[in-house]
């Protein structure tokens, strides 16, 4: 998952430096739901997915991300909930 996070980070940095967006970047950003956490994901996977979602959040997707984070606020794992709440503030 770290490799995926680095890849997403690279793509997002490339997007901000390229004046004309390549065609595949909006499709990549539209796939945000792929990173939504599932109830049976291990905690380390949830933490990585959370980081990726934070990186991918944009003006267009922030409502969707915040709705998802609202669900995560009821998770059992305290560290995960703290990270979600820290982002929402």
Cα distances (Å, whole numbers) of residue 84 to 40, 47, 68, 79: 18, 9, 10, 9
Burial class (CB in 10 A: 0-12, 13-18, 19+), 65: buried
**Out of 2-6, 14-18, 59-63, which region has the weakest mean confidence (pLDDT)?**
14-18
Q: Identify the band that residue 62 occupies on the pLDDT scale cut at 50, 70 and 90.
A: confident
pLDDT tens by residue, 35-60: 899 888 888 888 888 888 887 777 87
Helix, strand or coil, per DSSP, at residue 73? coil
Q: Which residue has the higher pLDDT, 86 or 29?
A: 86
């Amino acid at each position: 998952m770290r490799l995926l996070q680095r890849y997403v980070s690279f793509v997002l940095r490339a997007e901000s430096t390229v004046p004309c967006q390549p065609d595949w970047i909006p499709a990549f950003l539209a796939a945000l739901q792929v990173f939504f956490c599932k109830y049976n994901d291990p905690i380390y996977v949830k933490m990585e997915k959370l980081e990726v979602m934070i990186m991918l959040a944009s003006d267009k997707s922030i409502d969707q991300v915040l709705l998802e984070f609202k669900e995560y606020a009821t998770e059992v794992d305290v560290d995960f909930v703290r990270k979600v709440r820290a982002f929402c503030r």
